[in-house]
Amino acid sequence: MKGIQISYFKAPITNINSPSKIGLLDIANLIKSDKELRSKIIKIRVGGMDKTKLLDNVTFSGLFERRKKEDLIEYSGLICIDIDKIDSPKKLKQDLIKSELPIVLMFVSPSGNGLKVVLVSCSDVNKHLSYFNYYEDYFKTNYNIQIDKACKDVSRTCFLSYDKEVYFKNPSLVTEIKLNEDYANIILERARNYILESKDGEKHHRLFNISRLIGGYSASNLVDTNSAITHLEQSIDKRGGLNSFKDAQKTIRDGFSKGLLAPLTEEHIFSFQNKTNVEFDEEFDNLQTDEVEVKKQKETLYSDFVFDNIPENLLELIDKYSDKNNRSYMLFIMLGFIPILFPKILLPYGGQNKALNLGTIALGSSSKGKNASNLIRALFTGLNNELSKIKVNGIKKTILLPPNISASELIERLNANGGEGIINGTEITDFTNTNSKDYGNYDTIIRQGLSNETISKYRKTDNSEIDIDFPTFSVNLTGTPSQLSAMFPDMLNGLYSRFMYFIYGGVDYWIPGITTKVVEENTEDLGFISKKYFHYINNTPKFIIPEEVEKYFDSVMSKLYEEYSYDEVMLSVVVRSGFYTWKLIYLLKLFENDYTSEDEIVIDMNTLKVCLEITRESIYSAEYMSFNLKSNTLTETQRVIEKIKNFKREFTRAEAITLINGVVSDRTLDRILSNKRYFDKEAHGIYKFNNNI
């Protein structure tokens, strides 16, 4: 922790560029004795002047090229906590000095009624949020103080202040707190105590509630499902006083099944482990009874974690043209388009270099999502217009390709584009109708293009051959679920697995005043898109994948491979989704900044988790839709049985409903479960596999 340097920004707060470097001791001395700073603080406290215009500020968590989290150069291993509106900052400061907290700097805020506390976190920036959660819970538990949640942002800035009694301690003399991140043990041990301490008359209620909570952690892969259920069973058995252990098992599985529908993240654990049993009871009682009802219609929704960790510039674009009903949908469509911007960037995968192009299909009821898709497409019209000034063999270069032209014309246009572009349409039927005609035959072109394989065409007019050696075009289509069968008449020809999928259940997007024309006239946004394309035509940064990131990816994907090993088509989807995960990672990292060929981009764990969530949702959507395709090679019963095999134990009807997640109706599932050829139903609603399976 010696020699920590952080970024220093001159006022006003709108200045986020060209910071200088400063050490912690220098900051402490400024706060303690700088006369100019003292004068400014008096003007703010007495004269009510605006601190954002007067005060310089620093980013305690690191050195930045500019004040954006994606422009972090070096993490300092520090986190600054902001405590506002307290009666006696001086008294709180003295109390905190006596605590065991690893504080290196502490001073009264510019307002005079708050405190800035700079603490040690660790050397790993990926754990910054974990430390924030720890300190947030610490202050709430020990001092009944809610710290400012904005402090979790690693690029959070702090205004300098004047405090002649500023507290400073050399970071080399401060001991870092080691967080207990063995989440499974934390969760299961707390659950065990909650069950053991339950009184007669509340055992069943508590057992169901804690099982539901643990199911939420299991849904996020923080605990193993089978281990968790076994742990809960052992805990209630040790508690004793049961009328029937079978009843207790059913209660656990019913609660667990409910919890699987409401995933919980690491952030929840810090409050989870410190709550009293009474606080738990109150929290559970306040839950809405319909909070975790099974969804009858599959819908793709990304968690807040995704939107908290995608590049800020991408989030700004999405939020500008979307609302809460279709934020996830807008992100998916945008991800389908942005490979256009990086045709020269290659991803080493499977011993080959691959382009970042994607195949994406978004599905919803009639007309849903069309407006949103058109808005995203409009963002790329500026780039399309600039490129259309270029002609190859008399054909304009155009990256926005319609899905209803002949295969011959498509190849001619791709040839003029150098293989770049995106086939985009808001009606899958436009694609399938063209493909069904003699002049269509897109299947081969799409398969080859999405795999970057050579596309060839013989010109009869001049006896010449067109060879597009390395096509990089993407495909982005929207439509209704019923249109998919026509697009995939043969599930085994490899085309189905070349797409990512999204099922849209929201209302059709419409905000008064926001139209495609408005987007097309927004020169700032269109210029941003064009600038990104032309920058990366000439710059190819290097990507670095840390070992822990690669290991985490392998652990998640290996579980998915096992889950879908029974189905040749879905296994192919999973394998290709792993490949697409890395493409998404590259796309997000490239979009966040204009990196040069000299830059090295280190892939962080949060970006990996974001992309895994997106591809996992795509896999689930692909599975859901494949049940309804006429060309599906497995019967409905076969696929349900194969999925239920993943339990590898007895199970309840509620667990089966959760696992199937609406891909067949509850009535169909009941029909399959009642088939004694496959399943035996025991007492208390417990099912087990028949020996015939």
State how far the Cα of 67 lies from the Cα of 469, in Å rounded to an integer: 42
State how far the Cα of 410 lies from the Cα of 414, in Å rounded to an integer: 6
Q: How many residues does the chain have?
A: 693
The amino acid present at 624, given as its one-letter code, is Y
The continuous run of DSSP H or E covering 362 comes out as strand 359-363
The amino acid present at 433, given as its one-letter code, is N
Q: Residue 280's pLDDT is what?
A: 67
Q: For every residue of 14-49, which 3-state class applies, written as one string?
A: CCCECCEEEEHHHHHHHHHHCHHHHHHHHHHHHHCC
The amino acid present at 270, given as its one-letter code, is F
What does the buried/exposed string (b/e) look like for 29-55 if buried means 16 or more CB atoms within 10 Å of the residue's CB? ebbbeeeebbebbeebbeeeeebeebb
The amino acid present at 566, given as its one-letter code, is Y
Q: Residue 296's pLDDT is what?
A: 36
State how far the Cα of 532 lies from the Cα of 517, in Å rounded to an integer: 22
Strand, coil or helix: 483: helix
Q: Residue 36's pLDDT is what?
A: 94
Sequence ranges of the chain with CATH classification 3.40.50: 304-544
Of 137, 142, 173, 167, the residue nearest 152 (C-alpha): 137
State how far the Cα of 376 lies from the Cα of 330, in Å rounded to an integer: 8
Q: Residue 512's pLDDT is what?
A: 54
State how far the Cα of 214 lies from the Cα of 206, in Å rounded to an integer: 12
Q: Residue 489's pLDDT is what?
A: 75
User: Hey, which bits of 109-256 come out as E strands?
Assistant: 115-120, 158-159, 167-168
Residues of the chain with pLDDT under 70: 1-2, 179-183, 220-221, 260-275, 279-298, 323-325, 365-369, 392, 434-441, 459-462, 490-493, 506-514, 566, 627-636, 646, 648, 661-664, 683-684, 691-693
The pTM is what? 0.57
Q: Residue 297's pLDDT is what?
A: 42
Q: What single DSSP character describes residue 262?
A: S
Distance of CA 677 to the CA centre of its chain: 42
Q: For 304-544, which CATH class?
A: alpha beta
Strand pairing of 679-681 and 686-689?
A: antiparallel
> Are residues 362 and 502 in contact, defined by beta-carbon separation less than 8 angstroms?
yes
State how far the Cα of 356 lies from the Cα of 289, in Å rounded to an integer: 44
Place of tokens 């409009």: 378
Assigned token pair, 442: 């897109």
State how far the Cα of 677 lies from the Cα of 664, in Å rounded to an integer: 20
State how far the Cα of 212 lies from the Cα of 293, in Å rounded to an integer: 12
Q: Residue 662's pLDDT is what?
A: 60
